[in-house]
């Protein structure tokens, strides 16, 4: 089978592989607790489901405008303006099927052989995968535990060069749960001003899932907006991962190019899901608040429980819904621990190296599961560590 050389450089998300193995074990009769999943375990709010079902009945079953339905682009502009305290016009918004296509389309639009792209490591695996696939040089920005997994702005300044075409930021972060402060954002803004040809992708998909402090975005720096793309969406905030809907906010001149990529790839985002998206943004927000309340409670349970395990320490994540414990004292590579926990304890989690080389010595546990299951998983891991490690 002759494939293009770029396919050999395209990575993947190993979460899907762990899920497949866990499902196989379940078919064999094993009980598995799923703490590997990057999606809320809550249902999409009822009012949103109802709006989607009604839209289907009302005939929103055809192609729609490529950059998104005008009403949804307006609702997104309102939401981003309100939450970030800036003016946003609907012409700056492109709606796509999930948050991921914004990454994919932007990277296709700006990366090529010979340029560089700086991205957080540990970080969402698709960043590194796409940078490599497009022939650019991937420059990791290490996120360090001793820095509370926040990006070190001085270090970032030393990594950028005249060849850097793209800087990727992600706050709150997957997998570390770190959050950029207002001061970090202002200092990053000062650094990137020296690189006028640099594009910035600010992945803010967890912007509403934050427990300490507030969400801050580079979008508050007006002089950077020409080359800033804010990615956000519905998957996490409204438990809508399977609906496939997200958006980018960007310079209207870039909107034209991203829209052209969308026309080539998907034509448009499903029309009825976009009608549901308007309801998600403009309707009652109590389901989001309830989800946050439960995530906050689970966060305490899992972090406390992980810290009580022999050889494990865990910082309190400030956002998203992942704990990222240090397991170096257990004396085994993270990948081996991932396999052991799944095969022997029936607990599915992810090796930190799924998120890049700087994830060695860590595991990622998603707390998108009930307090009861989290406690059971911690108990099983405790037993395994005592008996085998």
Sites of contact with ligand PLP (CB under 6 A): 38, 98-100, 124, 170, 174, 203, 205, 233, 235, 241, 246
CB nearer to ligand PLP: pick between 119 and 381: 119
CB nearer to ligand PLP: pick between 167 and 309: 167
Q: How far is the CB of 387 from ligand PLP (least distance, A)?
A: 33
C-alpha to C-alpha distance for 349 and 364, rounded to whole angstroms: 6
CB nearer to ligand PLP: pick between 130 and 312: 130
Q: How far is the CB of 385 from ligand PLP (least distance, A)?
A: 28
Q: How far is the CB of 57 from ligand PLP (least distance, A)?
A: 26
Q: Which tokens belong to 20?
A: 């497949």
Which DSSP string corresponds to 328-384? GGG-S-HHHHHHHHHHHH-EE-EEGGGG-GGGTTBEEEE--S-HHHHHHHHHHHHHH
Q: How far is the CB of 126 from ligand PLP (least distance, A)?
A: 7
CB nearer to ligand PLP: pick between 141 and 384: 141
CB nearer to ligand PLP: pick between 250 and 381: 250
Contact status, residue 143 vs residue 112, Cβ threshold 8 Å? no
Q: How far is the CB of 240 from ligand PLP (least distance, A)?
A: 8
Q: How far is the CB of 172 from ligand PLP (least distance, A)?
A: 9
Q: Which tokens belong to 377?
A: 């998983």
Q: Which tokens belong to 313?
A: 């320490």
Q: How far is the CB of 263 from ligand PLP (least distance, A)?
A: 19
CB nearer to ligand PLP: pick between 22 and 239: 239
DSSP state letter for 137: E
Cβ-based neighbour number of residue 357 at 10 Å: 12
Contact status, residue 340 vs residue 388, Cβ threshold 8 Å? yes
CA-closest candidate to residue 200, choices 243, 151, 259:
151
Q: Which tokens belong to 126?
A: 């698709």
Nearest-CB residue for ligand PLP:
98
Q: How far is the CB of 21 from ligand PLP (least distance, A)?
A: 19
C-alpha to C-alpha distance for 182 and 226, rounded to whole angstroms: 20
CA-closest candidate to residue 112, choices 99, 100, 130, 94:
130
Contact status, residue 90 vs residue 77, Cβ threshold 8 Å? yes
In the three-class reduction of DSSP (H, G, I as helix; E, B as strand; rest coil), residue 200 is classed as: strand
Cβ-based neighbour number of residue 74 at 10 Å: 18
CB nearer to ligand PLP: pick between 99 and 317: 99
CB nearer to ligand PLP: pick between 80 and 384: 80
Q: Which uninterrupted H or E stretch holds 83?
A: helix 70-84
Phi-psi category of 213—alpha, beta or left, where left has phi over 0 and alpha has psi -120 to 50? Answer: left
């Amino acid at each position: 089978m002759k494939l293009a050389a770029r396919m050999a450089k395209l990575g993947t998300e190993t979460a899907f592989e762990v899920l497949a193995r866990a499902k196989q074990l379940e078919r064999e009769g094993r009980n598995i607790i799923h703490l590997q999943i990057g999606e809320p375990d809550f249902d999409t709010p009822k009012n949103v489901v109802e709006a989607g079902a009604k839209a289907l009945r009302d005939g929103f079953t055809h192609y729609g405008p490529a950059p998104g339905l005008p009403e949804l682009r307006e609702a997104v502009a309102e939401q981003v303006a309100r939450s970030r305290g800036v003016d946003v016009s609907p012409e700056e918004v492109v709606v796509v099927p999930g948050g991921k296509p914004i990454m994919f389309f932007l990277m296709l639009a700006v990366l090529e052989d010979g340029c560089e792209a700086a991205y957080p490591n540990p970080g969402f695996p698709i960043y590194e995968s796409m940078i490599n696939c497009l022939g650019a040089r991937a420059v990791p920005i290490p996120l360090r535990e001793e820095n509370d997994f926040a990006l070190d702005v001085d270090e970032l300044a030393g990594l950028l060069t005249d060849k850097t075409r793209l800087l990727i930021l992600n706050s709150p972060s997957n997998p570390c749960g770190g959050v950029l402060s207002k001061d970090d954002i202002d200092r990053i803004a000062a650094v990137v001003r020296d690189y006028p040809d640099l594009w910035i992708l600010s992945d803010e998909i967890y912007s509403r899932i934050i427990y300490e402090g507030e969400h801050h975005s580079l979008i508050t720096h007006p002089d950077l907006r020409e080359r800033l793309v804010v990615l956000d969406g519905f998957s996490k905030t409204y438990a809508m991962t399977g609906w496939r809907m997200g958006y980018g906010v960007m310079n209207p001149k870039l909107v034209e190019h991203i829209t052209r990529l969308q026309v080539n790839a998907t034509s448009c985002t499903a029309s009825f899901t976009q009608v549901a998206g308007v309801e998600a943004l403009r309707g009652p927000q109590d389901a989001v608040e309830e989800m946050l309340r439960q995530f906050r409670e689970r966060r305490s349970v899992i972090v406390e429980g992980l810290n009580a395990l022999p050889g494990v320490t865990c910082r309190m994540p400030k956002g998203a819904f992942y704990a990222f414990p240090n397991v170096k004292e257990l004396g085994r590579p993270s990948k081996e621990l991932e396999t052991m926990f799944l095969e022997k304890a029936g607990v599915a989690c992810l090796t930190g190296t799924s998120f890049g080389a700087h994830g060695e010595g860590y595991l990622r546990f998603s707390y998108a599961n009930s307090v009861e299951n989290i406690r059971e998983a911690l108990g099983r891991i405790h037993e395994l560590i005592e008996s085998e490690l």
